[in-house]
Amino acid sequence: MVRLGHTDLEVFPLCLGGNVFGWTIDEERSFAVLDAYVRAGGNFIDTADVYGRRGPDGPGASERIIGRWVAARGNRDELVLATKVGASPDLSGLSPATIRRAVDGSLARLGVDRIDLYYAHQDDPDTPLQDTLGALGELIREGKIRHAAASNYSAARLGEALDIGTVEGKAVPDAAGSFVALQAHYNLMEREEYERELAPLCKRHGLACLPYFSLARGFLTGKYRREGSEVDSPRAPGVRESYFNERGFAVLGALDEIAGAHATSVAAVALAWLLAQPTVAAPVASATSPEQLAELLAANELRLSPEQLERLSDASA
């Protein structure tokens, strides 16, 4: 387990993404993945009020599935549950009124009385940061959430938000609902924005980074290849457009080489590279089957040599 920033939360170093629940896999398969994750020692589950919007049951489906699973297994106190507010078509933005309505909806769907980590899913430039942080602080004091976090914030706006939670030059945990973690788009194929602008902020303020799209929407699993890789995924067209280039194939080549040396999966190597990066606490990754999850979980035991880390960093530069 790793400590999440300066909080008291101890989390498994791979966060299970719930974005596929109620979208690309149904409830039965979702339960199977969740069960396999917990059996492997996992305790950190990530979802959002908007997840499921592209599935048959609409926004909130992921939270409802997780809630029914928690109720069936009776394991709430063994878990760290994270969800988000601000991107749902029904409750968009981060005004205090929206946050309060959204948190009550998430609590009901999850069937719990508290959320361990509550993210502002995306910045809301129309709402003053002080108002957003103040509303999150109220939820902390009321016990509805334990900690607040940010997702999809620019370095400038994140820095401004963190300054609000600073007293006499020192970050104060949860002051006015201040953010304690950042979910950022970061992986071997997406490095510049995080490493250049966001990582220094995380380091300075003690924020834990929880990268999303940690496998570049599936590209870093190795299932996409230069030739003969027809992938049945709603993300496939975007993946090809973004990563089918010489840099992408160079990264896959380095991953193949290192995965072969360790007799492990390409996905495990990509996640192990992330875990070795400063400020990263736990990458977020989703799986559609227990077998696929097992390939991801191998990252927790994988230790890449300095030369292997450099090989991957050079290929993805």
Supply the CATH number for residue 69's domain.
Answer: 3.20.20.100
The pLDDT of residue 177 is: 63
**Measured at the alpha carbon of residue 157, what is the angle toward residues 153 and 158, in degrees to the nearest 5?**
65
Q: CB-based contacts of 249: which residues, under 8 Å, 6+ apart?
A: 226
Nearest C-alpha neighbor of 277 from the set 207, 204, 187, 158: 187
The pLDDT of residue 170 is: 42
Residue 139 belongs to domain spanning: 2-183
The pLDDT of residue 79 is: 98
Let me know if residue 179 belongs to a domain: yes
The pLDDT of residue 174 is: 54
For 309, the 3-state DSSP assignment is helix
Q: CB-based contacts of 145: which residues, under 8 Å, 6+ apart?
A: 103, 114, 115, 116, 117, 118, 136, 139
The pLDDT of residue 225 is: 84
The pLDDT of residue 169 is: 43
Let me know if residue 210 belongs to a domain: no
Confidence band, pLDDT 50/70/90 cuts, at residue 272: very high
Distance, in Å, from the CA atom of 235 to the CA atom of 54, rounded to the nearest integer, reads: 12
Active site residues: 51
Q: Could you tell me if 129 and 161 are in contact, meaning their C-beta atoms sit under 8 angstroms apart?
A: yes
Amino acid identity, residue 311?
Answer: R
Count of structural domains, the chain = 1
The pLDDT of residue 176 is: 56
Let me know if residue 191 belongs to a domain: no
Q: pLDDT tens digits, residue range 139-195? A: 999 999 999 999 999 999 999 999 886 544 444 455 556 899 999 999 999 999 999
Q: Evaluate if residue 278 carries a pLDDT over 60.
A: yes
**DSSP code of 76?**
G
Let me know if residue 305 belongs to a domain: no
Q: Could you tell me if 51 and 59 are in contact, meaning their C-beta atoms sit under 8 angstroms apart?
A: yes
- pTM to 2 decimal places: 0.94
Q: Which is more confidently placed, 3 or 166? A: 3
Let me know if residue 256 belongs to a domain: no
Let me know if residue 147 belongs to a domain: yes
Distance, in Å, from the CA atom of 292 to the CA atom of 18, rounded to the nearest integer, reads: 14
Q: Evaluate if residue 300 carries a pLDDT over 50.
A: yes
Mean pLDDT of 14-42: 98
Distance, in Å, from the CA atom of 10 to the CA atom of 4, rounded to the nearest integer, reads: 6
Q: Evaluate if residue 120 carries a pLDDT over 90.
A: yes
For 53, the 3-state DSSP assignment is coil
* Terminal CA-CA length for the chain: 30
